[in-house]
Amino acid sequence: MNAHATAMGAPPGLDHCPLMPTYGAPTVQFVRGEGCRLWDRDGTRYLDFLAGLAVVGLGHAHPEVADAIAEQARTLVHVSNLFGTVPGGEVAITLDRLLGGGGQVFFSNSGAEANECAIKLARKFGGHGRHEVISAYGSFHGRTLAALAATGQPAKWEAFQPLPDGFRHVPWNDLDALEAAIGPSVAAVLLEPVQGEGGVNPATAHYFEGVRRLCDERGLLFMVDEVQTGLGRTGEWFGFQHFGVEPDVVTLAKALGNGMPIGACWARRDVAAAFEPGDHATTYGGQPLAAAAALAVLGVMERDHAPSLAEHAGSHLRHALQALPQVAEVRGLGLLLAAELVPGIDARRVAADALAAGLVVNAVTPSALRLAPPLVVTPDEIDEGVAVLADLLADAARRTEAGQP
């Protein structure tokens, strides 16, 4: 138990937390993290292969990020976005450089808010009568209403009708279907390089190249959602860089703060110019504390070349998973992978059993596990995690053969 918890008395148990039931009932309360490791309130140690949904790219409690947060907390935490701050300005400069330059940045608190900014920007840039955004089935762009409407998973928005209009969905990686959906009211196309929440399904280079061409021909914005894939996770700084295209708008969040809430919407300068003062705003987005964390994250990632970390660790993890007889397919890029399990094995049960065995993963579909460890995961830690999975999958296969649940 940490010092704070001891001073304040024992923390409340899971049965006494008045939390809305928007998530499944939690079974573990984590109290500490270090690198790829987590500890629960009972002192049990876990190996984290989820990184807080691909957020903690540099691992838990990274010392340089922690020092930056502590120093900023003692210096300046908030002034509103009516004023500039040094860390916010430096993060914007760094992101613009990593994205090729020539753009401008709006800071938000999350990836959903970054996508909200992109959608509003597309509508303003498109002008009267051009407001529709095309996205793909299987996509995930956030839980706010417009981001939810852009999300191509009907199960996530059926209960919240009516959604804002102006959104169309087309089959993933189907260029002909996208072209057929483009009408005079379409302002932009919004796609992920890898559909993370949709099952870790990468785009093809042919698809992204074709989308770029169509957007150029029809005068549309090509907006890329890098919320989960950005900042090294796929083996490139940004997922779209695998496909040799340059988008007009890029949204990101998750890894940017390594756990501190910060998102960003980057746009080409001429596109960003569609916004005027008062068109869009946020109270907390990019405030100094979060920006200081992001600046430290970017500094460490550039120094340690985060894309190479993900590429090497991802290759090791991919090969280890492919050797498991119960894994039918491994898909994804870099260190954002899915293990598609052979028919009959329930990925959700495997994920629950893994947690009980000290390994944190999640089931991104009923038949697929998502694996997104911190980029700093070591080969020994990968071998350790895959060994846990190997035992669990062997047990699951035996149950399946025996006709047991």
What's the pLDDT tens digit per position in 171-228? 999 999 999 999 999 999 999 999 999 999 999 999 999 999 999 999 999 999 999 9
What's the pLDDT tens digit per position in 157-169? 999 999 999 999 9
Which tokens sit at 157?
A: 């928005």
26 pLDDT exceeds 60? yes
Which tokens sit at 265?
A: 């919407």
Largest CA distance in the chain: 66
Helix 379-401, helix 306-322: angle, nearest 10: 30
Which tokens sit at 67?
A: 């020092």
Q: Give the HSE-up count for residue 60: Cα atoms under 13 Å, Cβ half-sphere.
A: 19
The pLDDT value recorded for residue 193 is: 98
Is 124 assigned a catalytic role?
no
Is 140 assigned a catalytic role?
yes
Q: Give the bridge partners for 34, in sequence order.
A: 37
The pLDDT value recorded for residue 15 is: 66
364 pLDDT exceeds 50? yes
82 pLDDT exceeds 60? yes
Given 140, 167, 222, 238, the catalytic residue: 140
Question: What's the mean pLDDT when you consider all of the chain?
Answer: 95
CB–CB of 56/374 below 8 Å? yes
108 pLDDT exceeds 70? yes
361 pLDDT exceeds 70? yes
Please name which of 322, 332, 345, 342 lies closest in space to residue 372, comparing C-alpha atoms: 332
Angstrom distance (rounded) from CA 285 to CA 249: 18
> For 27-49, what is the mean pLDDT?
96
Q: Three-class SS of residue 77?
A: coil
CB–CB of 193/243 below 8 Å? yes
The pLDDT value recorded for residue 5 is: 42
Spell out the residues 6+ positions from residue 178 whose beta carbon is closer than 8 angstroms to its own: 134, 170, 189, 210, 211, 214
Residue owning tokens 């907006």:
223
- % of the chain surpassing 70 pLDDT: 96
Q: Can you say whether residue 242 is alpha, beta or left, with left for phi > 0 and alpha for psi between -120 and 50 degrees? A: alpha
CB–CB of 106/211 below 8 Å? no
Angstrom distance (rounded) from CA 52 to CA 194: 18
> For 56-76, what is the mean pLDDT?
98
The pLDDT value recorded for residue 19 is: 84
The pLDDT value recorded for residue 295 is: 98
Angstrom distance (rounded) from CA 14 to CA 369: 25
The larger pLDDT score, comparing residue 4 to residue 166, is at: 166
> For 93-122, what is the mean pLDDT?
98
Angstrom distance (rounded) from CA 156 to CA 402: 35
DSSP string, 141-201: --SSHHHHHHSB-HHHHGGGPSPPS-EEEE-TT-HHHHHHH--TTEEEEEE-SEETTTTSE
Report CA dihedral (115, 229, 95, 145) to the nearest 10 degrees.
10
Is 160 assigned a catalytic role?
no
The pLDDT value recorded for residue 12 is: 60
1 pLDDT exceeds 80? no
The pLDDT value recorded for residue 10 is: 52
The pLDDT value recorded for residue 14 is: 63
4 pLDDT exceeds 50? no
Please name which of 170, 164, 111 lies closest in space to residue 138, comparing C-alpha atoms: 170
pLDDT band at 40 (very low <50, low <70, confident <90, very high): very high
Given 49, 107, 225, 353, the catalytic residue: 225
The pLDDT value recorded for residue 20 is: 87
365 pLDDT exceeds 60? yes
Residue type, 399: R
CA 65 to chain centre: 19
Q: Give the HSE-up count for residue 81: Cα atoms under 13 Å, Cβ half-sphere.
A: 18
The pLDDT value recorded for residue 7 is: 42
DSSP string, 220-272: -EEEEE-TTTTTTTTSSSSGGGGTT---SEEEE-GGGTBTB--EEEEEEHHHH
Spell out the residues 6+ positions from residue 219 whose beta carbon is closer than 8 angstroms to its own: none
> For 354-363, what is the mean pLDDT?
98
What's the pLDDT tens digit per position in 110-145? 999 999 999 999 999 999 999 999 999 999 999 999
Angstrom distance (rounded) from CA 358 to CA 178: 43
